[in-house]
Amino acid sequence: MRKVIGWSIVGYLLFALFLTWYLFYGANTLIPAELKGTAADPETFLNTRELLLTEEYSQIRNLLFFLNIPLEWIIYLFILVLGISAKFRNWSKGTSNLSVLQTAIYVFYLSLIVKALTFPLQYVGYTLSKQYNITTQAFPGWMRDVIIDFWVNYAMTFLIVTVLYWLIRKSTKRWWLYAWLASVPFALFLMFVQPVIIDPLYNEFYPLKDKELEAKILTLAAEANIPSEHVYEVNMSEKTNALNAYVTGIGSNSRIVLWDTTLNRLGDEEILFIMAHEMAHYVMKHIYVGIAGYLLLTLVGLFIVHKLMALCIQRYGSLLKVNDMRDIASLPLFLLLISLLSFASSPFSNAVSRYQETSADTYAIELTHNNEAAVETFQELTKAGLSQVNPPFLVKIFRYGHPTMLERITYLENYEKNE
């Protein structure tokens, strides 16, 4: 146990040192020489201070991202090898004779300790965004969102874990298949209710206030055969200076959502390009493609987790303080393996997402026929979010579900030549 803890800490520190060197010194984020002076060159649309802040903020933010993921793995591992998971199981059994209540209590203990141990990095991320004027939200409001997030995640985790371990106890060999079958309607249901139940817990959504702009958007939506009621505005200016728009939900609850920061900072032509981009996701059924891809990865992932959990418990059960997969004390092992597989598959899922985003950019430029507005949109997004135009390679493949600003601006600026 001491060796596992010791080597885990050493490995984490070495990983942190490598990432620090890579992000701050080793990675090349310079613009290619042939793109100097073009619209993709940040020196053409950012001043000296903005250039400096963009590099500083992006480097620190990326470092926090990479530090947080293995920290979660170490937490789950330590909870197992230190016997904390087994103690949580015993405490939950001593509190109630009902299996459902035991699960609820165990999941609460586990969720609370993981949140407490990951909170410092989360707080550092908040203070960083505050320092660089990305976040405008006061600490009480931010903590409110953290608490809401905890309880939403707890409720979903409790529901999933209750069904998951019931299936494991019913069929130790095929639980992964039954769990996947159960995940299909659950994922669809979650996508359906998210815009009307979950999202409003964090922000206020309402129809677009600017009626003149709304008329332009409705005209654009009509060209794309999109129902007009799918356009919403959200009051994100209370929390951030960043700009964004997105598509959410499925069926009758699907929505195209614009942040009010986007509406306040961009002109009508830039907003129409963004709307055309988001309409492309709707028209091209990217949400449904994403759900299908998620379900496929879930099927493969659950099968791999099933095999790995059995192997880990067989070989290292005494070290992990877990002797049976059916024991809820094995949950941290399940979550650890899921997190590892999710991180390992992220380059693939991000690559698919970047392809979809490029397709949406193409659709938007063909619908609006305004290259200048498209380029200016991404230049403004870069300014507002202090985003690196040409991020390091590892950051791109593990973090970016969108093409880099360098790729998007260059592509859109030269779109006529690409046809």
Beta bridge partners, 233, equal 206, 258
How far apart CA 366 and CA 348 sit, in angstroms, is 28
Active-site residues: which are they? 278
The answer to whether the beta carbons of residues 254 and 235 sit under 8 Å apart is: no
Residue boundaries of the structural domains of the chain: 2-202+286-418
| Per-residue three-class SS string for the chain | CHHHHHHHHHHHHHHHHHHHHHHHHHCCCCCCHHHCCCCCCHHHCCCHHHHHHHHHHHHHHHHHHHHHHHHHHHHHHHHHHCCHHHHHHHHHHHHCCCHHHHHHHHHHHHHHHHHHHHHHHHHHHHHHHHHCCCECCCHHHHHHHHHHHHHHHHHHHHHHHHHHHHHHHHCCCCHHHHHHHHHHHHHHHHHHHHHHHHHHHCCCEEECCCHHHHHHHHHHHHHCCCCHHHEEEECHHHCECCCCEEEECCHHHCEEEEEHHHHHHCCHHHHHHHHHHHHHHHHCCHHHHHHHHHHHHHHHHHHHHHHHHHHHHHHHHHHHCCCCCCCHHHHHHHHHHHHHHHHHHHHHHHHHHHHHHHHHHHHHHHHHCCHHHHHHHHHHHHHHHCCCCCCCHHHHHHHCCCCCHHHHHHHHHCHHHHC
Q: Please give the chain's pLDDT, 419 residues, in tens.
A: 788 889 999 999 999 999 999 999 999 899 999 999 999 999 999 999 999 999 999 999 999 999 999 999 999 999 999 999 999 999 999 888 899 999 999 999 999 999 999 999 999 999 999 999 999 999 999 999 999 999 999 999 999 999 999 999 999 999 999 999 998 898 888 888 888 888 888 888 888 888 888 888 888 878 777 766 667 888 898 899 988 888 777 766 777 788 999 998 999 899 999 989 988 988 888 888 888 888 899 999 999 999 999 999 999 999 999 999 999 999 999 999 999 999 999 999 999 999 999 999 999 999 888 889 999 999 999 999 999 999 999 999 999 999 999 999 999 988 874 44
